[in-house]
Every structure is written in structure tokens, then in C-alpha cells.
Structure 1
Amino acid sequence: MAQNPLFLVPNIITIARILAIIPIVALVMSGDPTLRWVALVLYVVAAASDWLDGYLARAWNQYSDLGRMLDPIADKLLVNILIAALAWDGSLSGLDMIPAIAIIFRETFIPGLREFLGNTAVVLPVSQLAKWKTTIQLVALAAILLAGNIPQAEIVASLLLWAAGVITLITGWNYLSASWPHLSGIGKK
């Protein structure tokens, strides 16, 4: 008898990552510098859990369809909702909104593309660059949270966000290019 996927440790960690978004955003939006430190700690734990749930799923052979679905959703929710909160509280400069919007666009568009292609023979496997993209996005957002309390970190945070934006666009383009023959009808018989 198969174990209920809700009770698999990697899935519990993924669900906890999704639920952690609520207090992280509430703490950021409070405007209190001390609570922003708490938000940063919770965020780092949530971001690190992305690695942990994958590691445990592999180490304990606890794979499930639920986990395969929830893990990328958790990452995208964490990134996109935190970007919205950081834009709301003024942590992102006007220019930093360019990579922020690029990230939100790609993180919404590519899953939609994957869903559309789900009923076809076209497979868009996650590339190594896409895995690095997620890591750089998570690190950039941690740096932006930090810069809210340590202004000297703002330039590093901005550079990391721009790097994340560029890599995000590259991976989005790679996925779109790989799927283009199917989307355009080129190569169909």
C-alpha cells in the first residue's frame, strides 16, 4: 500500500515553504526593522528548504506526483509574492523593477507553456541553468531583505537581482525556443 503523499517528509517541507510565505510577507510589510530581520531568517530557512526537500526525496526515495507538482510551485510563489511585497514596501528601486518584472513574467509564462505542452509529446526538462536561476533568485531576494536593514548591501542586492533577471530571461528564452517548433506548427506533419 502506497503512503499518502501528504505525509512524505519532502512534501511536508514543501508545504511548509508555501505556508511560510504568509508570515514572511507580513513581517516585511510591517515596516519594522526588527521584524524584517525575522522575515530574513524565515525566508532563508524557506529558501534552503528547496534544497532539503529535493535531497530528502532522493535520499529516502520519497518521490510523488504531488511533490513534483508542488516543489516548483512553492519556489515560484515564494519568489513572486516576495517580489510583490518588496516592490510594495519600496525595497526595489525603479530600475530594479525591470529584472523583478522579468522574473515574474518568466515564472508565470514558462509554467503556462509547460502546462499547454503537457498534452503533447514535447517535453521541457529542467535545465541545470534553470536550477541555478532559482538559486540566484533566492539569494538575490535574501540580499534585498538584508539591504532593507543594512543599506551598504543595496548595490550587491541590486547586482544579484539583475543577474537573476538576466539568467531568468535566458532560461525562459531557452524553453520558448525548444517549444517553438510545436507552437508555430513548424515541423508538424
Structure 2
Amino acid sequence: MPNILTIARLLAVPLLPVMFLFFDRPWADWYAMSLFIIAAITDYLDGYLARAWRLESLFGAAMDPIADKALVMIALLVINGYAGLTPWILLPSAIIIYREVFVAGLRESLGGKARALKVTNLAKWKTTSQMIAITLIFAKGVFEHHARMESGSERAWLMGWADWAGNAGIALLWVAALMTIVTGWDYFRKAMPFLKEEPDA
């Protein structure tokens, strides 16, 4: 079951941009947000079930972080695509994507020594912050497009929620970006002893 959930998350990732190719907004926003939330929940469930049922495997250990990183990076690309590349979203997104590629490269270069780069509690909080931030930014698009179909107080109410979701999502995205810098530096510091060349005999 944990591996099935991980595979399902991997398959769901490329469907995020597809929502905006085949559906009009705000339905595309609804479908993308719902898909992202379900995928994010499976991120918690597969790890929890693997530990609770003692079903941890090399396949799951390899695929789970790949699925997480792919989900976050594709979602950020989708958001930046329809948000118009605003710097308040683009800059933290660039930091997050850069860090994920950097750490993935570190792990690949270390090979079997990559066990030294264990996932820390701060890294888990970073992932949680990213998931919530992206969900809130998706919600902003949902509220905005529904507001355009309303008028009067209903429109104002929906726009108020859109502003709140957007501002909260962007603020949390910056928090996540700062945590990616801290955790990225921590991983680099732990990897440095393994990256130093051996002196010539």
C-alpha cells in the first residue's frame, strides 16, 4: 500500500498542468488544487503506513523523495505560469527549485554515503510549509475566478478570501524558501567531509 500511494503520487504530478490545458478556469484551479491536496495527503500516508506496518523498502525510500520533489516543483511551475511570474512568487520558487536540484545532486554524488544526509525535522517542516503554501495559492485562483461570476457583497466576500489566501500562501512560501536555504546549507555541511579529495600517496 505505501508503494502504491507513492506511485499514485508520481502519476498525479504531470496531471497538474494538464488541468489547465483541458479545463476552463475556475474548474482547472479546482481540479489542480484537489489533485495537489490528495497527492500531499498521500505523502504523509505512505510514510506513516510504511512505518506502522513495517513495510519500509528500498523502492519506497528512493521513490518517495522523488515524488515529493516532483510534486512541489511542477506545482510551482504551474502557479508561476498562471500568476504572471510575479517576483513575490517567482523568487521563492526559484530558491526552492534550486535547493532541491542541489541536494539531489549532492545525494547522487555521494552514492552509498548519502545516508549521511538524513532528512531532518526542519526539512519535514519545510515540505509541510511548501504544501500548505501551494494549496493556498491555488485557492486564491479558485476564489478570484468564482468572484468574477458574482456581484455585490458575494463578490466582495470571495475577493476578500482570495486576498487572504494569496497573501498567506506567498508569506508561507517565503518561509519555506528560507527553510530550504537553511536545510540546504546543513546538507552541504554534512556532505563536505565526503567530498574532499584524498591526498596523493
Scaled by the length of structure 1, the TM-score of the pair is 0.87
RMSD: 2.2
Q: Which residue of 2 aligns with 1:182?
A: 194
Amino acid at match of 1:123: A
Q: Which residue of 2 aligns with 1:81?
A: 74
Q: Which residue of 1 aligns with 2:13?
A: 21
In the TM superposition, residue 181 of structure 1 has moved relative to its aligned partner by 2.8
Pair 1:64 & 2:64 matched: no
CA contact (8 A) 2:107 2:114 kept: no
CA contact (8 A) 1:40 1:145 kept: yes
Q: Which residue of 2 aligns with 1:157?
A: 169
The 1-side partners of 2:28 and 2:200 are apart by: 55
Pair 1:134 & 2:146 matched: no
Amino acid at match of 2:12: A
> 1:118-167: CA deviations, max 9, x gaps?
24487111111111111111111111111112331211111011011101
Relative to structure 1, the CA distance from residue 116 to residue 22 in structure 2 (aligned partners, 3 Å threshold; closer, same or farther) is same
The 2-side partners of 1:179 and 1:18 are apart by: 28
Structure with the largest fraction of helix: 2
Please identify, of 132-141 and 146-155, the stretch whose mean Cα deviation from structure 2 is larger. 146-155
Q: Aligned with 1:95: secondary structure?
A: helix
Amino acid at match of 2:173: L
The 2-side partners of 1:64 and 1:78 are apart by: 21
Structure 2 unmatched runs, 5+: 144-161
Q: Aligned with 1:15: secondary structure?
A: helix
The 2-side partners of 1:140 and 1:121 are apart by: 29
The 1-side partners of 2:42 and 2:14 are apart by: 16
Relative to structure 1, the CA distance from residue 49 to residue 91 in structure 2 (aligned partners, 3 Å threshold; closer, same or farther) is farther
Amino acid at match of 2:6: T
Q: Which residue of 2 aligns with 1:38?
A: 31
Amino acid at match of 1:144: I
The 1-side partners of 2:114 and 2:52 are apart by: 30
Relative to structure 1, the CA distance from residue 27 to residue 119 in structure 2 (aligned partners, 3 Å threshold; closer, same or farther) is same
In the TM superposition, residue 111 of structure 1 has moved relative to its aligned partner by 1.3
The 2-side partners of 1:42 and 1:107 are apart by: 22
Structure 1 unmatched runs, 5+: 1-8
Q: Aligned with 1:18: secondary structure?
A: helix
> 1:74-95: CA deviations, max 9, x gaps?
0000001111111112265223
The 2-side partners of 1:95 and 1:31 are apart by: 25
CA contact (8 A) 1:182 1:188 kept: no
Q: Aligned with 2:8: secondary structure?
A: helix
Amino acid at match of 1:89: Y
The 1-side partners of 2:50 and 2:170 are apart by: 33
Q: Aligned with 1:138: secondary structure?
A: helix
Q: Which residue of 1 aligns with 2:40?
A: 47
Amino acid at match of 1:80: M
Q: Which residue of 1 aligns with 2:147?
A: none
Amino acid at match of 2:42: S
Identity of aligned residues (%): 41
Q: Paired residues, what number?
A: 181
